[in-house]
Structures are given as C-alpha cells and as structure tokens.
Amino acid sequence: MEGEATKGVLSVLSRLEMQARSRKAKPPQQQNSVKELKSTIDALITQRDQLKAQIETQMCVQKLRAAMDKQGAHEADEEMDDGSENSKLLRLMARHAQLKDLLHAHHLIGGYDIVKTCQGKGVCVSLATGYEGVYLDTYNLEIDLKETLRIGRHNIPPFIPVNSLAEQSNMQTDIRAFLGALSQHLNAFAGRKQQVKLVKELHKSVEVLETNALCSILVLLLTVPREKIAVLCTLDYADHTRCLPTRVCIECEDKELPGSPHWKNNITLLKETPVHKALITMKKMGYIV
C-alpha cells in the first residue's frame, strides 16, 4: 500500500513542493558552489570505480564460461579453485550464465520452458509443440512446489492423461521424465491434428469421414480414378506418442482390391509416411483421384 502511495499523485506534488521550497531557501553562494563541485567529483570517482569493478567481474566470468564450455563444468571448477570468496562467486555467476543460455537454447529448439511463479512457491511449464518445422499450440502447466509436487492449473485438453502420465513417470522424483513424456504426447497429438488439417486442406477429393478429439482414429473415403470405386481407409493411431498409424485397414466393394500388390504397397506407405504426404504420392502414382 505504501509503495503505491510513494508513486502517486500526492507524492509528486509533495516532491515539487519540496523542490520549490529548497530553491527559495538556498541563495547561490560561491563557497557552496566549490563544496558542491568537490562532492560531485567524489561521486563521479566512486561511480567510475564501481563501473571498473563490474567490467573486471564480467571479464572473469566470461573467461570462466569459456573454460567451462570447453571442459565441462566440474573440471573448470577444479582448475580455477583458489578457495577465495571472490572466485567462488565468479564461478557461480559463470555457471548461472551458462545455465541461462542453455535454457534459452532449449526454448529456441522448441523444448519446454519453466518460470517461477508465486514468489518461488510454484513453477509454470510452457510446452511448445510443432510439426514439420511449424510452431503449433503452446500448452502450459502450473506445478506447486510443496513437499509433494502437485499439478495445478493447466490448459492441456482432457484427453491427454496428464495425471496418469505423472504417476507413470514418477513426477515426484524425476520431473524431467514426466515433462519429456508429456511433451512427447502433446507433440504427437499436435502432429496428428495438423495432419488431419492438411488432409482437409490439400486433398479436397478425399473425404474425411471420421476423426475424434484425440486424432487417434482417421477414416478416409478415397476414390479409384478409372472405375470410380470407393475405398474406405481406416488409420488407427494406437500409439499416442507417435504421429504415424499403427494399423491401416482398407475396405472396398471390390474384394480383390485390398489384396492387390499396389494397394499392399499403399498400406505400407501409409504406415511409414505422414498421411498427407502419402496421399500426394498415391495421387501422383494414379491410384486415387
């Protein structure tokens, strides 16, 4: 409450009032000006010394950083250990800078970020997802740091089983495993969702008959060009950590078609390449419209 008061309108006014009063009270005198100049000089000298010290510290830290990056943190520690307080502090600063850079790099490659919240009582993890070089949605998860870690607010959709993942990968002891597994699930989901979107956009001749919220089932209606026969293609993504289907089923009125070698190849193609790309290939080779 008080902090706000000092920045308020009243405080500005009182500051102005004080300035006006002090201006009235002080008649300019020569002795005072000499004293003032001397004190200004002293202040500037102190400032210069502080800045010099800062530059020195930074240079030491950078040297340490370079050594750490080359040799690995622990070896650098041992080398430069001369026991003094200063060097310990410098090492910590170097390590801190290194970790910050690592985290930033992790963020740039699309990994997850963590920030502190609630004055250190919790963290918020941001998990970015992407597919084929395109950033997709970012999901957030808040974790309370008490004796047991507890998952708080998040915007992860309910069909991604966050709580069971936390149990399975032992979130309490190994949070990296949990975050890794979660990131994997989310990225796979985002990838599958993006594939469905691309199929709808790029392949207007293919009809998407069925999908579901988790994008773990995809049923497409394909048309064979010459005979205009309809082929029902079901893709099952039973492994929710992957973007590729685990099972592909072809059904058709013409009982011969699914068994034909061309279509057996197509099935293998659909299992090994993302569906929107596989459809492009199949179109080029003339199997579907």
Q: Point out which residues bind another protein (CB under 8 A).
A: 1, 4, 7-9, 107, 113, 115-119, 124, 126, 140, 142, 152-159, 210-214, 216-217, 236, 238, 240
Least distance (Å) from another protein to the CB of residue 201? 16
Cβ proximity to another protein, 150 vs 283, nearer residue: 150
What is the nearest approach in angstroms of another protein to the Cβ of residue 283?
25
Task: Kindly report the backbone phi and psi dihedral angles of residue 154, in degrees, each rounded to the nearest multiple of 5, phi listed first.
Answer: -160, 165
Secondary structure letter of residue 116 according to DSSP = E
Residue 210 CB neighbour total at 10 angstroms: 10
215 in helix, strand or coil? coil
Minimum CB separation from another protein for residue 17, in Å?
17
**Which CB, 20 or 249, lies closer to another protein?**
249
Q: Which is nearer to another protein, 87 or 169 (CB)?
A: 169
Taking the least distance from each CB to another protein, the nearer of 63 and 240 is 240
Taking the complex as a whole, the smallest distance from the CB of residue 264 to another protein amounts, in Å, to 24
SS3 210: strand
d(CA 54, CA 139): 39
SS3 72: coil
Q: Which two tokens stand for residue 115?
A: 């920030």
Q: For residue 237, which amino acid is it?
A: Y
How far is it, in rounded angstroms, from Cα 95 to Cα 81?
14
Residue pair 141/124 in contact by the 8 Å Cβ criterion: yes
Closest CA to 67 of 56, 78, 57: 78
Which of residues 29 and 163 has its CB atom nearest to another protein in the complex?
Answer: 163
Which residue's structure tokens are 């289907």? 245
| CB-nearer residue toward another protein: 88 or 240 | 240
- Angstrom distance (rounded) from CA 45 to CA 17: 32
| Sign of the dihedral through C-alpha 55, 61, 63, 69 | negative
- The nearest distance, CB 121 to another protein, in angstroms, is 11
**CA–CA gap between residue 282 and residue 288 (Å, rounded):** 6
The whole-angstrom separation of Cα 182 and Cα 162 is: 7
Least distance from C-beta 157 to another protein, angstroms? 6
Nearer CB in complex with another protein: 63/107: 107
CB of 52 to another protein, least distance (A): 30
